[in-house]
Chain A
Amino acid sequence: MKLDWQSCGDTDSRVRYLGEAMRGLYLGQPAPAPMPGGRQAALARLHEYDARGYGQSRNFLDAPVSRLSPYLRHGMLGIVEVRDHLQARYRGAPQQIEELLRQLAWRDFFYKVLDWHGAALHDDLEPPKHAVPRQRALPLDVIEARTGLPCIDGILRELFEEGYLHNHERLWFAAYLCHFRGIWWGEGARLFRQYLLDGDIASNSCSWQWVESTFATKPYFMNKENINRYSNGRWCQSCRVKCPFNASYETLQTQLFERGRAPLAEEPTRSNPRGQA
């Protein structure tokens, strides 16, 4: 079936037309993408982005991260041109962008992992470093963003409505789903692919497997203190529920992995994988 792309002159007509033409193949209602697609929008974002301070602030949800990953994912920007642009712009102070370039290298690394393993990346690359069984179905309360935890439901609503999550939110949700709910990582990776504007197999599946410990030496998890700190209290300050994350790492380690059978995860802020610069 041919699509009449030439009749889509503005956003409204494009959305209306695409909603009809692709009926049966998408989730949700037709609405414009929360970020504009295309090379021009990609270049504008790249040129406007102030990368100074990225290395110090990137773990905080309020930090001005680049949000270039959807454009990199779809080839609207090239990874080499992003690197070259940043190096030219910050020529006199390369240390200002060193962390950002390292995050680009994570993306490059994940592509190489996919290139190496192919479709096998859809399954565990290594045995998990714990002995906890995993369910292979997403719970309904997760799909409906009604887990009752303000942070998790907030992250899910952001995923469904914005199509973008800060890297820390991705890690927190992945740890929640895998370790606190006992769901196999592949279910979460599929959910992210369906909703994230940068959803792919390489960065996405590798990051989920990193959290799960099937592509790492230990599982990643967080506690309330970590969420509260890096979200600047976005959810915790007004939260009244019994928080499953409110404990020390040692306590959570024992609770989650049956008396410490899994190696203790490193302090999370020191080991965040990225693919979403």
Chain B
Amino acid sequence: MSHPCVWLHDAAISPEDLALRSNPHAAVIFVFDEPALREEPVAFHRLDFIFAGVCETFRTIAHPIKEVRRGDPVVEIADFCAEHGCDQIHVTDNPDPRTRQIVQSLRKRHRVVVYPYETLTDYAEEPRRFSRFWEKTAKQVLGYHPRQNRKFHRG
């Protein structure tokens, strides 16, 4: 029997996070990324906004093990798994390079299950200009073709 845990990163702070909803009975961890914050400290109000969201989310989770840590996410999540006997890490994807770097590092020693991030559009081309992107995706976003596909993107 597997023992999953969920890693909530800073783009996944909600009870509606897909990894969390897919594992309603899993232990959960959030890590303030100390190496990243040492390199680029942020205003306190940013940390408070995030922490308020994490605390609120944790109060909705039934599992008794919910931890907020400060440190290197790879080290802290690995330590969390060892401490609580978790053998799988579930996380929702995010294109943020740091998030993906952490997932790659975790994969060296753990089974990591990655859920897709939400998107409004299916667009396989290289995204170079919004005008072309919108031309191809407006119907997906709006549910209908706009009456006139305006040149570029009028403000």
Contact = CB atoms under 8 A, between A and B. Distances in A.
A109 B130 contact: yes
A37 B48 contact: yes
B152 A27 contact: no
Contacts of B57: 38-39
Main secondary structure of the interface of B (DSSP, over half): mixed
Interface of B: 10-17, 32, 34, 37-38, 40-58, 66-71, 92, 95-97, 100, 117-121, 123, 126-127, 130, 133-134, 137-138, 141-144, 146, 152-155
B48 A76 contact: no
30 contacts: A2-B69, A5-B66, A5-B68, A8-B51, A8-B55, A14-B55, A25-B47, A26-B37, A27-B44, A31-B44, A38-B57, A70-B49, A74-B11, A75-B12, A79-B118, A79-B120, A94-B144, A101-B141, A102-B153, A105-B121, A105-B130, A108-B120, A111-B117, A112-B133, A114-B97, A194-B40, A195-B46, A269-B155, A272-B153, A273-B130
Contacts of B134: 102, 105, 109
Interface string A1-12: 111010010010
Contacts of A112: 95, 119, 121, 123, 127, 133
Contacts of A94: 142-144
Given A76-B13, A197-B45, A14 B52 contact: yes
B40 A22 contact: no
Nearest to B38: A25
A1 B133 contact: no
Interface of A: 1-3, 5, 8, 11, 14-15, 18-19, 21-22, 24-40, 42, 58-59, 70, 73-81, 83, 87, 94, 98, 101-102, 104-106, 108-109, 111-116, 118-119, 160, 163, 190, 193-197, 199-202, 266, 268-273
Contact of B45 (A33, A115, A201): A33
A98 B48 contact: no
B51 A108 contact: no
Contacts of A18: 44, 47-48, 51
A201 B97 contact: yes
B142 A25 contact: no
A160 B43 contact: yes
A74 B44 contact: no
Nearest to B11: A75
Given A21-B70, A115-B95, A271-B152, A75 B52 contact: no
B44 A19 contact: yes
A35 B49 contact: yes
Contacts of B92: 75
Contacts of B48: 14-15, 18, 30-33, 37
Contacts of B16: 39, 78, 81
Contacts of B152: 266, 270-271
B101 to A, nearest CB: 9
Nearest to A190: B40
A156 to B, nearest CB: 13
Contacts of A39: 13-16, 53, 56-57
A74 B47 contact: no
Given A78-B16, A83-B120, A118-B97, A37 B51 contact: yes
Given A27-B41, A40-B56, A193-B42, A74 B133 contact: no
A273 B51 contact: no
B49 A104 contact: no
A272 B154 CA distance: 7
Contacts of B37: 22, 25-26
Contacts of A77: 14
A213 B155 CA distance: 18
B76 to A, nearest CB: 8
Pick from B10, B16, B155 the residue with the most CB of A within 10 Å.
B155
B35 to A, nearest CB: 10
Contacts of B45: 28, 31-34, 163, 195, 197
